[in-house]
Amino acid sequence: MILTILESKFFNMAKSKKGPRFIVSSFLFIAFLCTIASINEIRFDHLLTFSKCALSLDNSTLPIHSSDDEIRVLIGILTLPDQYHRRHFLRLVYGTQSVSRGRVDVKFVFCNITKEDQKVLLALEIMRYDDIIILNCTENMNRGKTYTFFSSLPDMLKDEPDGSGSAGSYPPYHYVMKGDDDAYFRLDNLVESLRPLPREDLYYGYTIPCENMDPYGHYMAGMGYLISWDTVEWLRNSDIPKKHLEGPEDKVFGDWMKDGRRGKNRHNAKWSMYNYPDPPTKCTHELWPNTVAVHLLKTQEKWIQTLKYFNVTQDLKPSKLYHIP
Ligand SMILES: *[C@@H]1O[C@H](CO)[C@@H](O)[C@H](O)[C@H]1NC(C)=O
Ligand SMILES: *[C@@H]1O[C@H](CO)[C@@H](O)[C@H](O)[C@H]1NC(C)=O
Ligand SMILES: *[C@@H]1O[C@H](CO)[C@@H](O)[C@H](O)[C@H]1NC(C)=O
Ligand SMILES: *[C@@H]1O[C@H](CO)[C@@H](O)[C@H](O)[C@H]1NC(C)=O
């Protein structure tokens, strides 16, 4: 548009006034304008190419929603294949929690299934929820299920396209936690408690015995303990755990850490982790806001009291379809 107007103006001027000089200068001016236009075009093209580059880079190499402060945590809840109701309940409890900065995947972990009905029911559960890990082991209490869990993860997660960890990112999780199915985890508090802590060689949990506040003492209680991904890989590769698999799992775990001189960084999460206040012991604490885990929720009543305390239903949206007093 502008070009045409200028062109005609100059052309008219050239025609009306002293011919040749004006024609030459107007041609020069048009050439000048064309050059500017083509330079701009090149720039525009480059912009397009740059934005294409940025998009493809985004797509192939960076996990979605990732930022430097995103912490990825896997909680493996060790349970048994037949605990259908417990899993259903825990899915309610964790599926309604949100994590503001970070990602927590809660998965249920057990050994080989053994019954015909499990093949159908568990396959359906996986199709619906995709939150189950079946290890290659025979169910056991004190013969290395915890070891199998941690040490299987690097291979299990290596080629997972998505769903576990973030697509293609390393490490798939910054931290892996082993949890009990009678413990209640406050996922956002857990992630926030991890934020200031190292991402290497970390061993985090509730120090045993109950009155002990020194995380370098012995080991972390089975209600829930967490290690950084480098330690998961160490467990997979080291001979130390392989030689010493039998015994109370969490205590044996502490022995491996000691023998392997692992867990240079330790965090005692007491009293953000504790046993349910009733009946009171040296290991209990009142329910309080600064909670990462409440353990020994052995009855429905204790679960209900705990969930009520944390106001877990406060975001229920009003509707004509139901009325909950
Ligand atoms: C992103 O990756 C997916 C799957 O690899 C592909 O289908 C899609 O076209 C890619 N999008 C862009 C913008 O490159
Ligand atoms: C599972 O473990 C058994 C023995 O413990 C072994 O023979 C088998 O190869 C393992 N299977 C897989 C898929 O790793
Ligand atoms: C678990 O099941 C797999 C496949 O069904 C089998 O190869 C493996 O030997 C079993 N492992 C154990 C320890 O029973
Ligand atoms: C639950 O809600 C009550 C009432 O709003 C509030 O006083 C209390 O602090 C909340 N509890 C927690 C743990 O946030």
Ligand having the closest approach to the CA of 112: 3
Question: Per-residue confidence of the chain (325 residues) as pLDDT tens digits?
Answer: 444 444 455 445 444 445 556 555 655 555 555 455 555 544 544 444 444 333 444 434 433 334 456 899 999 999 999 999 999 999 999 999 999 999 999 999 999 999 999 999 999 999 999 999 999 999 887 788 999 999 999 999 986 655 444 556 889 999 999 999 999 999 999 999 999 999 999 999 999 999 888 888 889 999 999 999 999 999 999 999 998 888 899 999 999 999 999 999 999 999 999 999 999 999 999 999 999 999 999 999 999 999 999 999 999 999 999 999 8
pLDDT computed for residue 51 by the predictor? 43
In the structure, which protein residues have their CB atom closer than 6 angstroms to any atom of ligand 1?
55-56, 59
Å from CA of 233 to ligand 2 middle: 19
Ligand having the closest approach to the CA of 189: 4
pLDDT computed for residue 44 by the predictor? 47
3-state SS class at 45: helix
Closest ligand 1 atom, CA of 59? Answer: 1
Ligand having the closest approach to the CA of 168: 1
**Fold annotation for 72-309:** Spore Coat Polysaccharide Biosynthesis Protein SpsA; Chain A (3.90.550)
pLDDT computed for residue 217 by the predictor? 82
Å from CA of 59 to ligand 1 middle: 6
* CA max distance for the chain: 108
**Dihedral of alpha carbons 274, 280, 283, 286, sign:** positive
Question: pTM score, two decimals?
Answer: 0.76
Q: What is the spatial distance between Cα 325 and Cα 315, in angstroms, rounded to a whole number?
A: 14
**Contact at 8 Å (CB) between 267 and 204?**
yes
In one letter, which amino acid is 25?
S
Strand partners, 74: 105, 176
Å from CA of 136 to ligand 2 middle: 6
Å from CA of 162 to ligand 1 middle: 14
Q: For a ligand 1 pocket test, name from 51, 55, 59 the mutation site with the most ligand atoms within 8 angstroms of its C-beta.
A: 59
Q: Where are the alpha helices (DSSP H) in the chain?
A: 2-16, 19-61, 84-95, 116-129, 145-158, 187-194, 229-237, 249-259, 300-309
User: CA triplet 131, 105, 99: central angle to 5 degrees?
Assistant: 140
3-state SS class at 247: coil
Closest ligand 4 atom, CA of 289? Answer: 13
Look at ligand 1, atom 1, and give the residue with the nearest C-alpha: 59
Residue ranges of domains in the chain: 72-309
Ligand having the closest approach to the CA of 156: 2
Look at ligand 1, atom 11, and give the residue with the nearest C-alpha: 59
Q: What is the spatial distance between Cα 63 and Cα 277, in angstroms, rounded to a whole number?
A: 41
